[in-house]
Structure 1
Amino acid sequence: MMPLKTLTLAPPPPSPPPPGLILFPCLNLPNKTLKFHQVLVFILTFTAYAAFHASRKPPSIVKSVLTSTTLTNGTTASNSDKGSFHFTRNPLQNDTGWAPFNGPHGPHRLGELDLSFLLAYSIGMYFSGHIGDTIDLRIFLTVGMLGSGIFVIIFGFGYFLDLHSFGFFVTIQIVCGLFQSVGWPCVVAVVGNWFGNARRGLIMGVWNSHTSVGNIMGSLIASSVLGIGWGWSFMLPGIFIVIMAFFIYLFLVVNPENVGFDLLGKEVEMSGEGVALVDSENNETEDVESSIAIGFFEAWRLPDVASFAFCLFFSKLVAYTFLYWLPFYIRHTAVANVQLSDKTAGNLSTVFDIGGVFGGILAGFISDVIGARAVTSVIFLFLSIPALTLYRIYGSVSMFTNIALMFASGLLVNGPYSLITTAVATDLGTKALIKGNSRALATVTAIIDGTGSVGAALGPLLVGYISTIGWNSVFAMLIISISFAVLLLINVVINDVKGKLNDGKWLWCRIFTR
């Protein structure tokens, strides 16, 4: 029988440095330190995913323009110029909206449009994660960004070409969702390669603010040009992500070893007990095992992956409901008896994302201090229930209460969402079972965020139908979803608390055991 060793494939050689580092040798060793490259990777991945989120924001900003604010006698948008190309036209079309979204079933169709994007995104996420573990992440991420930008721009051309086919918009959203699904597994895997476990919650919390920063950028850019035509609200974010794709292709270094540093993922072995040093040169077998991508179903069986994945299903359902419908809600809900304009509603909705920036950082910091990601997530989720209730009841009283309660809601809703998609996913993807290997990290990340994205697809769709009944029903649905998210983490929380109590790691444990 042939010896097993002869059947073992050698690990693939490190990828060459990106073209930008070849063109500029001064960016390589010994001219630049590890810290420089970590900062460069941090900035590039941060900006890249901010661009992804900025390009997702236009649909929520233009919702109020696409639907008819005042429908009379079934009036619809004029099709008289169909087939001609315009860069200047009356953007609001006398407030009659844009067919096919301006009829009595307009909100339903907008929800279905969101569903087409998010369902494609969630399905693509599962495949993207596994593909990302097998090919060059820099190339894969570049393709995802270019495709996303191109199809966001094509969606905007629907305005300039005066297109009113629902099938056209749905098709564009489906393809765009598939390209967008490439982004998250790639950037998380790259960051996981470059940063160890120390202060991971805080680092990931700061880094994951790219989600909210991207939402803010997308909202402000899309709102600023809404007055000259909703097509421009898609064109500019699309151009931005295309430009960023070239920077990623030129300068993103996927692994430290690609530029001469030791592979950080092999230097530390992550576990619930802390950080243990691992000899990266123990034997060839470890190198070979670390080069093999983990199987999809094997990744599902890793401890706590399923619990956090299904928790994120409900948590992301809530977060993406606000992402896609908050400007519409603000536009159609008077604040201090004043009906806000489309542009003002879009700008005001950024307060939720500003709260999300602080929420992600705070959740990451707290989880590092107490050493329990699940406990932190449950605390934030539980507190978000009264925050959303108060926002619904008192958000319309005055602009101050609206901003304050929206900020608090964003902080508490996005905090656990940010924590689970970054620090938790990275922790689970770098357990001792897989020895910190990023070739499993993208798969685990994709499973968690992909499952969350199914919830993200469901939430906006449900709002499209439930909002026609009343916004109280929408908020009730959100609160029920958060309750399910909490319940799904109860067992993980209990295990975390028991572990901390047994180890006496928490301050109050040491006080009571003296």
Structure 2
Amino acid sequence: LAWPSVFQSGTALLRFSHHHVVVFLLTFFSCSLLHASRKTFSNVKVSISKQWTSNAFNTTLELPIEIWSSNHLFPNTEEATLFLGMLGIIFLFSYTVGLFISGMVGDRLNLRWVLSFGMCSSALLVWLHFYNRWLYCCLWIVNGLLQSTGSPCVVAVMGNWFWKNGRGVVFGLWSACASVGNILGAFLASSVLQYDYEYAFLVTATVQFAGGIVIFFGLLVSPEEIGLQVLNLITLSKSPELQFASTRLLPGSLAYTCLKPVNYSFFFWLPFYLTDPLSIWYDVGGIIGGTLQGFISDILQKRAPVLALSLILAIGSLVGYSRSPNNKSISVLLMAVTGFFIGGPSNMISSAISADLGHQELIQSSSEALAMVTGIVDGTRSIGAAVGQYLVSLIQDNLGWMWVFYFFILMTSCTILFISPIIVREIISLVE
């Protein structure tokens, strides 16, 4: 066991400059703004479904019902809800494809340019509204591709600035950006939703666009840009180019596919079936879980055992939540606990573990690896998330919510099973 070097006096902390703080904050809030944009869509689903149907009419003007109905996309709320669920699936599939592409593009172009372009372009697309089903589908496909520039770029930049010793606690704290973005998106949407759902998109899109401008002019991709020493413990050579095929062999990358459907199902569907203040507690638990579990993994100098223990406890929290009584206080507690044991590991996988994989032996000979690795890890996870969204809606419609929780338990168990070789190897290493 070793105390994380980031907390050892006279060592790592003295190496931190104000540039590290700026990079941490800029990447943190850029990722938060992208998540806030996605969260806004899930938070306004109810308002959208009501406005897209012909249930409400203007009582101040006496016009035939046919005129009011002609501008609505769907005849009833059920069809609107089904279409909104399909939009979420379309976005996730597009986002998944984009992650594989963005990782490779980010490693070959300037990460700052790619991230800024993705943020600004996505903000403009989120604000665009064409009241046509096919145009909405096309917009969400492009939006998914643009949103996918975020994760590979920000993790690659953070990996350039923060070394492996102490990375778990730094990235654990940084990975709270997703949950902070979810909370921010819920707050911004709820503050203007009374005026109309378009204003919710306008507010988040404006803030995200401004954030993209700040990233373009203010983000330093690497310490080398200002002549600082590169602190990564592994020296990378420039010569061999990393091939996409070799990254498929990254240990455990496919195993993480099973966890993201559970995390994203809570992300996309909780605001639709629960009040927003209650669903926020899942993100609060994720913030605490990611930070604390990252800290413990630094002390152990191993990630997999911490991840496995958290997922085992996550199964218990899912069972408890599925059988919880209809009590608000108990629901808040169980929601936070579930977020701690599911959202926490998900955040750690998307940040610290991705950065670790980017510097492992299989690909350490390439300096153009980290963004691609992050794209691979997040991409494989997002495949599961996209398929999972369809399965969740299918199971819920035919079997009910109890079977949805059984599905969550099955996917969490599969995650533990698939990473068991890594768990065994790291536990043996700890014992020795």
Q: Match of 1:415, as an amino acid?
A: G
Structure 2 residue corresponding to 1:115, chosen from 52, 66, 89: 89
Cα deviation code 1:307-360 (max 9, x no counterpart):
2x2222111111110110001121xxxxxxxxxxxxxx1232111111110011
Name the residue aligned to 1:9: none
For this pair of structures, how many residues does the alignment match? Answer: 406
Determine whether 1:429 maps to 2:358. yes
- The 1:371/1:34 distance shift into structure 2, 3 A limit, reads closer
Q: Match of 1:313, as an amino acid?
A: T
- The 1:206/1:386 distance shift into structure 2, 3 A limit, reads same
Determine whether 1:147 maps to 2:118. no
3-state DSSP of counterpart to 1:431: coil
Q: Which is higher, the Rg of structure 1 or of structure 2?
A: 1
Structure 2 residue corresponding to 1:348, chosen from 262, 278, 283: 278
Name the residue aligned to 1:404: 333
- The 1:102/1:239 distance shift into structure 2, 3 A limit, reads farther
Instruction: Find the aligned partners of 2:75 and 2:112 in 1 and give their Cα distance.
Output: 38
Instruction: Find the aligned partners of 2:344 and 2:366 in 1 and give their Cα distance.
Output: 26
Structure 1 residue corresponding to 2:202, chosen from 235, 239, 252: 235
Name the residue aligned to 2:254: 310
Name the residue aligned to 1:298: 246
3-state DSSP of counterpart to 2:220: coil
Instruction: Find the aligned partners of 1:220 and 1:417 in 2 and give their Cα distance.
Output: 23
Measure how far apart 1:223 and its partner are. Answer: 1.7
Name the residue aligned to 2:105: 131
Instruction: Find the aligned partners of 1:53 and 1:118 in 2 and give their Cα distance.
Output: 13
Instruction: Find the aligned partners of 2:237 and 2:323 in 1 and give their Cα distance.
Output: 58
Instruction: Find the aligned partners of 2:334 and 2:362 in 1 and give their Cα distance.
Output: 43
Q: Give the TM-score of the pair, scaled to structure 2.
A: 0.89
Structure 2 residue corresponding to 1:487, chosen from 409, 414, 417: 417
Measure how far apart 1:293 and its partner are. Answer: 4.1
Cα deviation code 1:167-213 (max 9, x no counterpart):
12211111100000111100000000001111111100000100000
Instruction: Find the aligned partners of 2:411 and 2:362 in 1 and give their Cα distance.
Output: 32
Cα deviation code 1:380-428 (max 9, x no counterpart):
111111212222221x522110111111011111111111111111111
Q: Which runs of 5+ in 1 are unaligned?
A: 1-32, 70-74, 81-92, 270-277, 279-285, 331-344, 503-514
CA contact (8 A) 1:77 1:99 kept: no
Instruction: Find the aligned partners of 1:295 and 1:407 in 2 and give their Cα distance.
Output: 41
Cα deviation code 1:218-267 (max 9, x no counterpart):
011112222211111211111111000011001100011111112333xx
Instruction: Find the aligned partners of 2:125 and 2:21 in 1 and give their Cα distance.
Output: 31
CA contact (8 A) 1:316 1:452 kept: yes
- The 1:421/1:427 distance shift into structure 2, 3 A limit, reads same
CA contact (8 A) 2:242 2:366 kept: no
Name the residue aligned to 1:363: 293
Name the residue aligned to 1:246: 213
CA contact (8 A) 1:101 1:107 kept: no
Name the residue aligned to 2:406: 476
CA contact (8 A) 1:134 1:293 kept: no
- The 1:261/1:101 distance shift into structure 2, 3 A limit, reads farther
CA contact (8 A) 2:237 2:366 kept: no
- The 1:225/1:465 distance shift into structure 2, 3 A limit, reads farther
Measure how far apart 1:101 and its partner are. Answer: 8.3
CA contact (8 A) 1:67 1:101 kept: no
Q: Match of 1:322, as an amino acid?
A: F
Measure how far apart 1:463 and its partner are. Answer: 2.5
Determine whether 1:47 maps to 2:29. yes
Q: Match of 2:290, as an amino acid?
A: G
Cα deviation code 1:287-320 (max 9, x no counterpart):
432xx54111112224x1xx2x222211111111
Equivalent residues in 2 for 1:154-165 (5 A)? 154=128, 157-158=129-130, 163=131, 165=132
Instruction: Find the aligned partners of 2:410 and 2:19 in 1 and give their Cα distance.
Output: 44
Name the stretch that deviates more: 167-176 or 189-198: 167-176
Q: Match of 1:315, as an amino acid?
A: L
Q: Match of 2:161, as an amino acid?
A: W
3-state DSSP of counterpart to 2:229: coil
Equivalent residues in 2 for 1:259-408 (5 A)? 259-265=226-232, 268-269=233-234, 287-289=237-239, 292-302=240-250, 304=251, 307=252, 309-330=253-274, 345-394=275-324, 396-408=325-337
Q: Which runs of 5+ in 2 are unaligned?
A: 1-14, 59-67
Determine whether 1:413 maps to 2:356. no
Structure with more helix by fraction: 2
Instruction: Find the aligned partners of 1:208 and 1:111 in 2 and give their Cα distance.
Output: 27
Measure how far apart 1:53 and its partner are. Answer: 0.2
Name the residue aligned to 1:275: none
CA contact (8 A) 1:390 1:405 kept: yes
Instruction: Find the aligned partners of 2:72 and 2:20 in 1 and give their Cα distance.
Output: 46
Q: Match of 1:42, as an amino acid?
A: F
Measure how far apart 1:109 and its partner are. Answer: 2.1
- The 1:214/1:437 distance shift into structure 2, 3 A limit, reads farther
Q: Percent identity?
A: 35
Cα deviation code 1:116-164 (max 9, x no counterpart):
101000001001101111111111111110111111111xx35xxxx2x
Cα root mean square deviation, aligned: 2.3
3-state DSSP of counterpart to 2:369: helix
Name the residue aligned to 2:4: none
CA contact (8 A) 2:238 2:366 kept: no
Name the residue aligned to 1:36: 18
CA contact (8 A) 1:133 1:293 kept: no
Instruction: Find the aligned partners of 1:79 and 1:112 in 2 and give their Cα distance.
Output: 26
Instruction: Find the aligned partners of 1:287 and 1:483 in 2 and give their Cα distance.
Output: 39
Q: Give the TM-score of the pair, scaled to structure 1.
A: 0.75
Cα deviation code 1:34-56 (max 9, x no counterpart):
51111110000001000010000
